[in-house]
Structure 1
Amino acid sequence: MSKDKETPERRRERLRQEELKKNPMGTMNDAFNKAENGSLADLVGSLDWKGIGILILVITIGFIAASLLLK
């Protein structure tokens, strides 16, 4: 499909993929802001593997800190 005949949805996805290739960690802020109005699936879907790893690490540290403080 040529670029001038692609649907708006495909164009948005293509531009999003190009932006991810140019600046992979810059999308993390966008993902967290999107999570305010979306679901966890939207958050994880907009992050790459590094962002998901950081998110899991932050959540794990939070649970450990909460368990130590609540003992």
Structure 2
Amino acid sequence: MSENQETPEQRRERLRQEELRGNPTGNLNDATYRASNGSLVDLVGGLGWKGTGILILVIIVGFIIYSVFFR
């Protein structure tokens, strides 16, 4: 697939893989941290814009419900 036909998600993953190949030991700490806790970038990249919007909406509604009932 040529560069101008790949999706932004595919481009991000390709660039991430190239960076890992170029500097494997520099990313060791990041890799262990992400493996144990996850990454917001991976979450948002996997959800897409609709899923991210729904996640933000759920967080806002949850905060409103919390502030109404527990204050």
Which band: TM-score by shorter chain? Answer: 0.3 to 0.5
TM-score, normalising length: structure 1: 0.44
Please tell me whether Structure 1 or Structure 2 has the larger radius of gyration of its CA atoms: 2
More helix as a share of residues: 2
